[in-house]
Amino acid sequence: MASLDIQGVTKSFGATRVLHGIDLAIHDGEMVVIVGASGCGKSTLLRIVAGLETSTSGAVLIDKVDVTPLEPADRDIAMVFQTYALYPHMTVFDNMAYGLKIRRVPKPEIRRRVQEAADLLSIGQLLDRKPRQLSGGQRQRVAMGRAIVREPKLFLFDEPLSNLDAKLRVQMRAEIRSLQKRLAVTSLFVTHDQVEAMTLGDRLVVMNEGRAAQIGTPMEVWSRPADTYVASFIGSPAMNMLPATLAEGGAAARLADGTVWRFTDGARPGGEGRAVILGIRPEHLMPDAAGLAVTIDLAEPLGSETVVHGRLRDGTALTARLPGGIPQEPLILAPDLAALHVFDAADGKRLDPA
Amino acid sequence: MSATIDVEALAAASRRRRMRERVLTHLALILGVVVFAMPIWITLVGSTHDTDTIGRGDVPLLPGSEAWNNYMHAWAQGGGGRNTFAVPASTMLWNSFIMAMLIAVGKIAISLLSAFAVVFFAFPLRMVFFWMIFITLMLPVEVRIIPTFQVMTSLSLIDTMTGLTLPLIASATATLLFRQFFLTIPDEYVEAAKIDGAGPLRFFKDVVLPLSATNIAALFVILFIYGWNQYLWPLLMVTNRDLETIIVGLTKMIGIGDAQNEWNLIMTTAVFALLPPVAVVVLMQRWFIKGLTETEK
């Protein structure tokens, strides 16, 4: 068990800078999920922690020890790869035992640890098989098992669920989470899937173009996104963004069509006329006679609720999650004003009451 | 309106067509077998007659009665050629076998290591080295035979097994083939091995070699036969007849001019020369085909 500290890590490939100084402290036994669109640098960061990639500057500390100059093998970490990277010519047992064999762990000890891990993952009956005789979910478990037997200080997961079908992914997600909690191993998990990120992480790091846009618990990130990128990335369907200006000295926002919404939590700084963006999650829109008229482009009934993709009168797209079946036009929607997010129109940063 | 279909007539026509196709296919196959197998049959039959039968100019198509004598004689004493004394086929077979083995194993070992270096390591001038190896593809043994001979003379390697095999061991083709195969090994295996703590040689031994097993087998078959069939280089290098290889020895048995060729012994030796390559192909054919057609991943 250990802590992980990432201090000012940057990475450039030639002239292209892919990481602009990441700082992150992970406590003992915590699971942190790095989430972001492809190309945001999340995998590079994980590989730097693993030692498979060298950082341009900055340091990685495991258990307060600077491991930046160390080889991957000397960092006492285990990694689960997206493609699992199980050696195809070795049996499941040999795959799991390989790292221990190289570290010259005594044979009976290897057998005991592999058996334990296999029982934990219920793959005990598969130990004699080759990876190609296994299903995707079983391979995933073997990859996990290979990491567990090493009893490392740190688990690294590089999108380990993205090669599974949807149903299995949900199941393995839950298993990984309960396993991680049970073993209480500090973990870093990389994914592009925001649902995975929300459900797995004690904390999230939302990355955008090589920067940590926000670090916080899933609920923090969801309820108080730091900027428009995080706001639209986390949550499904994505948050609606409506351009507006501050009115009433900052205590309210005026939309393009003149509608004025008063903030319930206090005035925003900047004064009259400041350009802002209002963020409204689709689930916070309700039918209300005093709202905005929406023309429906597409309605997706999900059973208990319906996702409505529509347009305001000026053409701005608006998505709403409404309870019940497909609603009838004319549809008038208004937001729950207590759940309104306000962002600066210029730099996209969240604006909180002064 | 539907025209009535004469099912019987159509079925009969289709039966006739299938029959015709089958006959044609078999004719083509039989022709192929005859073309390929006939010379071997004549050799086999020739090795069972006495000298005079073939000496008269007959080409017997049915086996004779001298098989045992011919094979014993060729194995233990060998046939004499013009101006030369006889070398037993057993000696020549042994020499050829050692030479072919050394060439095949040596080529595979060198190519595996150089391909491993080129693919899995980043070092300065990596591509330069790769291209230098690659360019030697354009220089087969025959082209560089005089300088190579010069080098071997300076190293006093004439008339030695080392001199016979060493210049033939360098192989751009095998390096290239292994390189192509290694490129298909996912980076993640390398990374997983790094995290598992395997060093480069450990990774080579535990992961790369087992994965290349079928490729190695396929190449071994090809290279063994390549080595076995070497003619020009052994002809130049070896004057000591104790080191005679069977392909060279066989041609030396055929005299030019007035000398009476012992065709029965030549045929017998030719059969001996055929057997090891055949054995290698037969024994390794399953691996051979697998290695050329699929990769284990």
ipTM comes to 0.83
Mean pLDDT of B263-281: 90
CATH code where residue A22 lies: 3.40.50.300
Residue pair B79/B255 in contact (Cβ under 8 Å)? The answer is no
Residue type, B259: A
A283 and A151 within one domain: no
Residue pair B172/B134 in contact (Cβ under 8 Å)? The answer is yes
Mean pLDDT of B258-268: 79
Whether residue B206 and residue A98 make contact (CB cut-off 8 A), yes or no, is yes
Q: Which CATH number fits domain B78-293: 3.40.50.300, 1.10.3720.10, 3.20.20.70, 1.10.569.10?
A: 1.10.3720.10
Report how many Cβ contacts below 8 Å link chain A to chain B.
Answer: 55
| Least confident range of A5-19, A210-224, B19-33, B238-252 | B238-252
Choose, out of A43, A49, A70, A81, the residue to mutate when testing the contact with B (most B CBs < 10 Å): A81
Facing residue for B186 by CB, picked from A79, A85, A102: A85
HSE-up of B48 (CA within 13 Å, CB side)?
A: 12
Q: What is the pLDDT of residue A208?
A: 92
Would you say residue B173 has pLDDT above 50?
A: yes
Whether residue A102 and residue B296 make contact (CB cut-off 8 A), yes or no, is no
A98 and A34 within one domain: yes
Would you say residue A156 has pLDDT above 50?
A: yes
Residue of B nearest to A143 (CA): B192
Every domain of chain B with CATH number 1.10.3720.10 lies at 78-293
Choose, out of B196, B203, B207, the residue to mutate when testing the contact with A (most A CBs < 10 Å): B196
- Residue A351 is assigned to a structural domain of this protein: no
Choose, out of B185, B188, B189, B195, the residue to mutate when testing the contact with A (most A CBs < 10 Å): B195
- Residue A326 is assigned to a structural domain of this protein: yes
Mean pLDDT of B165-185: 90
Last residue of a domain, one of A215, A232, A249: A232
A148 and A47 within one domain: yes
A184 and A114 within one domain: yes
Last residue of a domain, one of A188, A206, A232: A232
Q: What is the 3-state secondary structure (H, E, C) of A16-60?
A: EEEEEEEEEEECCCCEEEEECCCCCCHHHHHHHHHCCCCCCEEEE
Facing residue for B191 by CB, picked from A78, A85, A103: A85
Residue pLDDT, tens place only, A273-327: 899 999 999 999 998 888 888 999 999 998 889 999 999 988 889 999 998 888 8
Cα-based distances in Å from A81 to A68, A141, A146, B183, B187 = 21, 12, 11, 19, 11
- Residue A281 is assigned to a structural domain of this protein: yes
Last residue of a domain, one of A212, A232, A252: A232
A111 and A92 within one domain: yes
Contacts of B128 (CB under 8 A, 6+ apart): none
Cα-based distances in Å from B194 to A53, A90, A140, B204 = 12, 17, 20, 12
Helical ranges in chain B per DSSP H: 7-46, 51-55, 67-76, 89-120, 126-135, 145-154, 161-169, 172-183, 187-196, 200-203, 209-211, 213-228, 232-237, 246-253, 263-293
Q: What is the pLDDT of residue A285?
A: 92
Q: In Å, how far is B187's CA from the nearest CA of chain A?
A: 9
A339 and A250 within one domain: yes
A129 and A41 within one domain: yes
Mean pLDDT of A28-41: 92
Residue pLDDT, tens place only, A215-263: 999 999 999 999 999 999 998 899 999 999 998 888 899 998 888 999 9
- Residue A349 is assigned to a structural domain of this protein: no
- Residue A352 is assigned to a structural domain of this protein: no
Q: What is the pLDDT of residue A300?
A: 92
Contacting residues of B for A51, CB less than 8 Å apart? 194
A18 band by pLDDT with thresholds 50, 70 and 90: very high
Whether residue B197 and residue A89 make contact (CB cut-off 8 A), yes or no, is no
What string of DSSP letters covers B122-134?
Answer: --TTHHHHHHHHH
Contacting residues of B for A88, CB less than 8 Å apart? 211, 296-297
User: Domain span at residue A45?
Assistant: 4-232
Give me the percent of chain A exceeding a pLDDT of 70: 100
Beta bridge partner(s), residue A310: A296, A318
Give me the percent of chain A exceeding a pLDDT of 90: 71
Residue of B nearest to A81 (CA): B188
End-to-end CA distance of chain B: 58
A156 and A300 within one domain: no
Residue type, A135: S
Q: What is the pLDDT of residue B84?
A: 58
Residue pLDDT, tens place only, A42-95: 999 999 999 999 999 999 999 999 999 999 999 999 999 999 999 999 999 999
Mean pLDDT of A332-339: 91
A184 and A67 within one domain: yes
Residue of B nearest to A76 (CA): B195
Q: What is the pLDDT of residue B17?
A: 94
A182 and A112 within one domain: yes
A302 and A201 within one domain: no
A308 and A265 within one domain: yes
- Residue A353 is assigned to a structural domain of this protein: no
- Residue A192 is assigned to a structural domain of this protein: yes
Higher-confidence residue of B293 and A275: namely A275
- Residue A354 is assigned to a structural domain of this protein: no
Question: How many domains is chain A built from?
Answer: 2
Q: What is the pLDDT of residue B257?
A: 59
